[in-house]
Chains A and B, each alone.
Chain A
């Protein structure tokens, strides 16, 4: 569509890129139909096309973000369903990134909002802090109904309600299995241990270690790596996000250039989408642009990497699995069939819930910051999943797992936990219990 930026504005590389993105949008409206917030709220302003328009006006007029614009951009889940749908190839992901950074720079949020956001940004990316916070939060759980009644405290209530009842066992990240005896060494990979997942569910990476080791892959954790930065990135806290990214780039480049790596394995697809984008995030940083590009090029979702290993096809087993396609996998990384094929090859019966393209409402910190919409999306997702009457749910992202688990009694596991079990690992605790 038509845009009106001055040559001076276009001299700014960020504006120039956003202008290119905007020019591609032909305002056809296709994307509205698959946007979870439009489907839920029925307002153009809560649709991708509406947001694109709001962003265009804000950037063209070079004005500070205003309340109306912020409200509707904040409601965006960054699920990227619109990107999958758009026939014109509009890169909404990077446009909304730009908008969020602009909002963060030019808009002063109400006090309660500021507090909750900085709390999240200061705790979630740091496993030690997060672990302490979880313990405290469990004590605070009785306050949920109280907080829920005060609008400004609703995010706090949502946060407490999400806290898993059982403590995640401490990760055994220091004792990765060595490659299985009898099998040849087939590769060497670094695994992202990351932040929140290692606290909420250390079993996921433990299963990955076991499974990969069994098939002859050496798994290491690069010293110095940590949170991928997605969390703060989606809040528009760009500088912090880039710091996290640089630190991880350093860690992995160190490993690549010394011992060599075949892949950087990510088991939380939300993080995977961001790491695969490091090259772009750091493109304007002359010291990091090239290195970040190398890291992104090596990043693989666990399902992608496993698919290259030609795992043996197993006898069918009785368990039926509803596969929940995390947005960051299906829309962010365009990985749609690989996880299902892996599960099928491992003998599971895979069922696909209706409306699989719609987000479950987790979306990073969205379920905390936008509890109402998130709750509606969760209910819809759970309804669709339960309709499959599957025995267990598989997903490739910790955010979705926590979100969906808080709405259903069907056990939910990471795809890799089911695969590890099928290929000789221990039965997942969640199944043994159920």
Chain B
């Protein structure tokens, strides 16, 4: 089947030397750290953007920064593309390999190296999962704030690559706002340290540049992140509305009133049903749209903020307001929300969009999204970070039907264009990857892109790092 998104043509010079390359890699890595059997390579051919697949040349599973450096240096020397990978949970295809690439998968680098409460910082190997940071420091009253839905599985290295967000980013910011330093291995094997335990560094903000660079500037092997003290209390509250418009308008007004809860999450009817079926969280099933609003602080602070939110919701005809009664209930509410994408698999295959729009346009974009998806004869479920205007329409389709699959992709493109036209952008937190690469032209002029590509080339002159991603294939220097 021909697919819309193209990959770079594999380099014959690499493919023809496959055996030699594998033999060389075997000298650099212990046997259990190298996958090269065709059977073993297939499971690495994709990530969570599963409609695209390319079997890589080999997979390196290094345990140390030194091994990462050795592999990169080798690949640079022989012009072999390298695709970095963490847990392979990217929804934009950020970790999808290509036939001539060595996958550099950091899943064996899972040690928490240092927890420094005095400086409110933790240093971790890049393969540590997002959630395990909070788990490790939770008992001492701290947590790591960015919380992508896949936080159970996704790695901090991947989070840095994509500058990932999450439900709680409304208050605490995304990865870049919580990252203090990294150890970065450049394509020639040089190891550099950026940042440290302090908030700002002298000189250029290279750390900010690396965060969100989708593995194209180097490979992060260690990260130092900010730890935040847990608030006194947290309370998620469910607000059910008759229609998506009402819920959307309510979000707009909450933010316009200058109220910043920790999270405002939105689910439409389809999403509510999907999540309830999995998590049994007690979401109201008789509403057309649901907001999960989480507030935190002292009891008095939470009460005060909730009172203002309830008042605003009242103006938008809120149907049900349910305060959650226990920690278990709160955990279920979030479990349902965070499993939304996976749980959708119970009813259909899906692709998940990630556009961001100005809050004033929320209702309009939601409406248009439904129209677009319906015009392709498909269904949509919406579950997203409303407070940030970060939309996640899930386009439902049947992956075994090539026409539906192509339509889903086309509908997705229309939706992302809509986001840009509405004054927003292509990606809130999932990254460009391969999925949104060709749409970058809607967002940026050629001059904008050229400047970004020059920065990229300054780090990786030969474009070996994750080369098929982020920048449209034509128009590269």
Chain A interface residues (CB < 8 Å from chain B): 1-3, 23-34, 38-39, 41-45, 49-50, 53-54, 57, 66, 68-69, 72, 85-90
Contact = CB atoms under 8 A, between A and B. Distances in A.
Contacts of B61: 42-43
Contacts of B160: none
B152 interface: yes
B177 interface: no
Interface of B: 32, 35, 37, 39-40, 42-44, 46-48, 50-51, 59, 61, 87-89, 105, 107-110, 127, 129, 131, 150, 152-154, 278, 339-346, 349-350, 399-400, 405
B89 A28 contact: yes
A89 B277 CA distance: 10
A33 B110 contact: no
B127 A42 contact: yes
B273 to A, nearest CB: 14
Given A29-B89, A43-B35, A44-B44, A87 B399 contact: no
Contact of B278 (A42, A50, A87): A87
Contact of B349 (A26, A38, A87): A26
Contacts of B340: 87
A2 B400 CA distance: 5
B43 A53 contact: yes
10 contacts: A1-B399, A24-B345, A27-B48, A28-B341, A29-B154, A30-B153, A43-B108, A54-B39, A87-B278, A88-B346
Contact of A54 (B43, B48, B109, B343): B43
A49 B50 CA distance: 12
B150 A27 contact: no
The dominant DSSP class at the A interface is helix
Contacts of A72: 40
Contacts of A2: 50-51, 349, 399-400, 405
A24 B129 CA distance: 24
A44 B33 CA distance: 12
A33 B131 contact: yes
Contact of B339 (A24, A30, A42): A30
Q: Main secondary structure on chain B at its contact with chain A?
A: loop
B400 A26 contact: no
Contacts, number: 119
B37 A26 contact: no
Interface hub of A27, A49, A50, A86 (most chain B Cβ within 10 A)? A27
A42 B110 contact: yes
A29 B43 contact: no
A1 B349 contact: yes
B39 A88 contact: no
Contacts of A85: 152
A54 B350 contact: no
A331 to B, nearest CB: 16
A68 B43 CA distance: 12
B150 to A, nearest CB: 7
A89 B346 contact: yes
B344 A26 contact: yes
A25 B153 contact: no
Contact of B42 (A39, A42, A54, A86): A54
Given A28-B150, A33-B152, A57 B42 contact: yes
Nearest to B95: A29
Given A1-B399, A26-B342, A33-B152, A45 B43 contact: yes
A24 B150 contact: no
Q: What are the 5 closest A-B residue pairs judged by CB atoms, nearest first?
A: A88-B345, A87-B342, A42-B108, A87-B339, A26-B345
Contact of A26 (B109, B152, B153, B341): B341
B399 A89 contact: no
Contacts of A86: 342
B88 A44 contact: yes
A87 B108 contact: no
Contacts of A44: 43-44, 59, 88, 105, 107
Nearest to A3: B400
Contacts of A39: 110
Contacts of B152: 30, 33-34, 85
Contacts of B39: 54, 57, 66, 68-69
Contact of B43 (A23, A34, A49, A90): A49
Contacts of B40: 45, 68, 72
Given A2-B50, A29-B88, A57-B42, A88 B399 contact: no
A29 B153 contact: yes
Contacts of A30: 89, 150, 152-153, 339, 342
Contacts of B47: 27, 29
A50 B43 contact: yes
A34 B51 CA distance: 25
Given A2-B50, A26-B345, A42-B61, A89 B43 contact: no
Given A28-B341, A87-B346, 13 more contacts: A24-B345, A26-B344, A26-B345, A27-B50, A29-B154, A30-B150, A32-B88, A33-B87, A43-B32, A87-B341, A87-B345, A88-B345, A89-B343
Nearest to A86: B342
B42 A28 contact: no
A24 B127 CA distance: 27
A370 to B, nearest CB: 14
Contacts of A49: 43, 88
Contacts of B405: 2
A364 to B, nearest CB: 24
A24 B344 CA distance: 9
A23 B35 contact: no
A33 B43 contact: no
A13 to B, nearest CB: 19
A33 B345 contact: no
B343 A88 contact: yes
Contacts of A29: 47-48, 87-89, 150, 153-154
Contacts of A90: 345
Nearest to B131: A33
Contacts of B345: 24-26, 28, 87-90
Contacts of B399: 1-2, 23
A434 to B, nearest CB: 29
A1 B110 CA distance: 28
A43 B35 CA distance: 9
Contacts of B50: 1-2, 26-27
Contacts of A54: 39, 42-43
